[in-house]
Amino acid sequence: MNFKISAKLLFLILILFFFSCGGDSEDPNNRNIIDNDYFAVKDENARKFFIQSANALRNDDPRRALKFLLQANKMEPNNVMILNTLGSVQSSLGQDKNACRNFEKALTVNDLDVTTHINYGTCLGQNGKYKQALEILQQGLSKTNKRRFEYYVLCFNLAVYNYKNGDCKQARNFVEQAKECTYPNEQFKTEVEKIFEVIDQNCL
């Protein structure tokens, strides 16, 4: 199994998870709802670019989304939501160095943000920095709970990078926790099952 591809899928899962309630910004009846959903982007022009990036992602066009996100980031350079989404799209396009840099910056802005821990930890793991990745992911886990989807994404990533780091016991522990997720996200559940099979076959 290619863990790097799976991790990038998780970035997109998170992006779609955050944008799923936004509706269609082209519909004027939805504009106020969308503005409320993206209240974390304070600058009005940056918010417009951010909403355009969400639409591009819904249309499976990450390169177009990247252009909008770079503009939003110029207008509001220390916004954690923009930095996380920008890094996620950069990672999905193979721009891992830029992605990790933006996740690290987001963590310096707000070290309590769980999504940043997921993204930065996964980015580090993708680049073979398993010990650092596990540390960041474990910190994120301490800041959330089982009522949150992010908890199970963290468990998924902790399972992956404990396995890659040679710790089968911890990998089994975390993949079992990830399997407990009840959120209706079929793509996530499929990835969890794939990793469970790999760990089950190789951790005797």
Q: What is the pLDDT of residues 56-104, one digit of tens each?
A: 988 889 999 999 999 999 999 999 999 999 999 998 899 999 999 999 9
> What is the crossing angle of helices 149-164 and 130-141, to 10°?
160
* Residue 48 in this model has a pLDDT that exceeds 90: yes
DSSP 38-104: TTT--SHHHHHHHHHHHHHHHTT-HHHHHHHHHHHHHHSTT-HHHHHHHHHHHHHTT-HHHHHHHHH
Pairwise pLDDT comparison (21 vs 154), residue with the higher score = 154
Alpha carbon distance 70, 16 (integer Å): 19
What is the Cα 48 distance to its own chain's centre?
A: 21
| Residue among 93, 49, 51, 98 at smallest CA distance from 74 | 49
pLDDT-derived band at 159 (thresholds 50, 70, 90) equals very high
Q: Classify residue 178: in a domain, yes or no.
A: no
CATH number at residue 8: 1.25.40.10
For residues 19, 37, 27, 44, the Cα torsion angle rounded to the nearest 10 degrees is: -110
> What does pTM read for this prediction?
0.84
Q: How confident is the model at residue 31 (pLDDT cuts 50, 70, 90)?
A: very low
Q: Is residue 102 part of a domain?
A: yes
The total number of structural domains that make up the chain: 1
- At 204 the pLDDT is 76
Does residue 116 lie within any of the structural domains?
Answer: yes
Q: Does residue 105 sit within a domain?
A: yes
188 Cβ partners below 8 Å, 6+ apart? Answer: 10, 13, 152, 153, 156, 181
Domain contains 156? no
Domain boundaries, position 109 = 3-143
Residue 137 reports pLDDT greater than 70? yes
184 lies in some domain = no
Task: Give the tens place of pLDDT for each residue, 32-42.
Answer: 334 445 778 99
28 falls within a domain = yes
